[in-house]
Structure 1
Amino acid sequence: MRAELENTVGHLIPLRKLDEQEINTLSGGRPLVGVDGSVYTLGGNYPFTVTAFQAVAKSTVAFDRTDKVVRSSLYSPLDREDRDALRSFMEENEEGLTEEAAFSRYKDRQMALLEIEAATIALERFRPFLILLDGQFSRYQKDEELFDKWHVFCKRAQDCEALVVGVVEEVGTMKLKKFLSQPVQDRLITGHDREILFGLFETGEALLPHEEIEIKHDAYVAFARLSDQPQAIACNFLYDQVDHVQDLLCLLYTLTPKQGRGIPLWLDLVDVEARITKKEWEMLVQSTLDKDIYERFLRPQRERRDY
């Protein structure tokens, strides 16, 4: 399978750990920013819920006594304005879906909006050499408003000479199978790229597809194994930054713990700061809302179990 991928898809290359001087040369003394988001829904069945969104863009270097940008919002179908916004979203994008099903997609959209807003502000505030986004670029291009914000972000990144990488820890594409011979295809269970790449790479190895091989139409995609974890990750790059792919993969390899999950440690640290815990969110809601309102609309019956 390795031989077939190299013959038809791209190059398997070894990555190396960068030393301090090489990192300083690559960064030009500028910080790294990681961006991640968190969403938590409190309540029972739809529409008796309240959802909190929080996006954090965190810099490795503080500026004006802060090292992060935080964007947050709330949504509840019990609120008339929020419900009207969801119905407008359904009319524009999700015809034929129930409100509950549309709400699931609406949450993804709202999270993506906050993340790209935080990332755009971080570009101006911290002037990073690199922004790491948690996930694929297509998350930020699902409708006109998102695409417009993504376009502004990419333009500002270009103006600031900042590199952009989307780190995808769960590979979801299904593009490589068609490049394999039939006997190899017949051994596969699902044919997804995740299955094909599992255990295929040595630690610190990457697959760089030829540029004419389109894994995603909106990004150049490389696959890599950055730790002892045998599951490969994917990395999205802007097409006009393809010349930096190998250097950036070596940097990501340097920033990833050998025994870790296979993604750069900085994204895990950002995730901790962005995460909304159940306990914190419950305390906030219960201390803010009238007890009768909370019990009537938001407390799920499962919490009343005796055992």
Structure 2
Amino acid sequence: MRGVHFHMSDSQRARFSRAQQQLLHPTSKLPSSVCVNVSDTIPGYQEEGILKGHGTADLNGEVVATLCGVVERVNKLVLVRTLRVRYKPENGDIVVGRVFEVASKRWLVDINFNQAALLMLSSMNLPDGIQRRRTAVDELSMRSMFEENDVICAEVRGFQHDGSLHLQARSLKYGKLENGQLITTSAYLVKRRKQHFHHLEQYGVDMILGLNGYIWVGVHTDVPNLEGQGEEENGSEQSTKSIVKSSGDATDGKKDSTSLRVRENICRLANAIRVLSSLGFSLSLELILDTFETSIDWNIDIKDMLAGEFYVRIAEREAERRCSKSNV
């Protein structure tokens, strides 16, 4: 569990300590749930034929851990999965980043990696929607698409031969993000899932769980349907233009028309993510919505979600839930 930094009374600190002990020391006795530190002997794996995987080593005939983490076993393979790791990009990862420089034919994007990611002009959908070679006119109009401090969503294309990390945004679901909040968390809290784009229709909010630890919560933006728009060529061109405009002029028009309820939902969801991130819980759609709805059921104001009492109650509830599951 990560260290949390908020004011707590003595009684709250005692309650939080008890919940923390329950979360750090699970009651399950299965070998796959054993937490180990560096140089700890991994119990139950002294039989012959054991294959030592990542995070393990052989010392005086015993299997010891070389990393802090959780012991996992796959058939005869024993490995240690670290609880905290830095973000390691993989092809196809959905990431959220912030543009910090507009260079020649490329944007430099901060994606919480140890180097800047490159989004090439050739890897972007053009405003006219036509597949063609990029010209000098396109390069001069790069700032009309993205400029410094813009928050964008993109997909990891991969590493090039020179070691640079490249992104791409060729699909209509990628692009500029506006009218929302960017929450920065640790990348290990966001697990790879089938879906990272979530439209919460009942709240009028879109949420993107970036695998790099950057999470976006903002006003829902309708994506025009490419079907049934007349002629195929003209329809695709008009749709692409409307998509590009939706990240610019259309969202500008929504800035003043966003209802108070939607803005409150955005703030409450963002605070729910901040609470779960500070407590070190994995950030899934189900857990975020559960924390969101729990704050409403408990009549917790949005600003009070970041107070010590709400942190303690969420930790206690999660500890009770895990204990009940382990006793089943």
Q: TM-score, normalised by structure 1?
A: 0.24
Query: Counting helix residues as a fraction of each chain, which structure ranks higher?
Result: 1
Higher relative contact order (CA 8 A, sep 6+): 1
When Rg is computed on C-alpha atoms for both structures, the one with the higher figure is 2
TM-score (norm: length of structure 2): 0.23
